Amino acid sequence: MQQRRPNLVPELLAILVLAVLTSTMWAAWLGWDQHRDVQPDGSTTGPYEAWQVIGLVLTLLAAVYWAASRRYFAGAVLGVTVGLTVAAYYDWSDDSSGLFMVGVGMVMVGSLVMTAAVSAVIASVKRDG
């Protein structure tokens, strides 16, 4: 009896497409706002506004749903994680303190955990429904 080998091309393509899409969405939502806002009391905020981050998360949620509902779980988790990590590294690498790597690491771990959890929920709902 001959074993069927899994076709990895669609999964790898999903990883690549989602990584590029995620980096593009980072640039569209967060890439253009690079300046901190100075408040009247002298404190600074930013550079991102809450609505920008929420927009990025909702856009990526749609992409994760698309991939996970088609059973491209590695594409959903790894593609978004790689895309966000690369985009954060590129966007924040001009920080002279060197602490940007802490933020990049947090983005990487957070996106890995959250996309895995969302993909698991989507898989569970799609299996039951």
Per-residue pLDDT of the chain (129 residues; tens, 9 = 90+): 567 777 788 899 999 999 999 999 999 999 887 777 788 888 877 788 899 999 999 999 999 999 999 999 999 999 999 999 999 999 998 888 889 999 999 999 999 999 999 999 998 887 765
- What tokens appear for 44 in the block? 């600074």
In a domain, 66, yes or no: yes
CB–CB of 6/72 below 8 Å?
no
Q: How many domains does the chain have?
A: 1
Q: Distance from CA of residue 31 to its chain's centroid?
A: 14
Q: Is residue 123 part of a domain?
A: yes
Helix (H) or strand (E) holding 90: helix 80-92
108: domain range?
Answer: 13-128
Tell whether 70 is covered by a domain: yes
Closest by CA to 19, choosing from 71, 70, 67, is: 67
This prediction has a pTM of 0.87
Q: Is residue 76 part of a domain?
A: yes
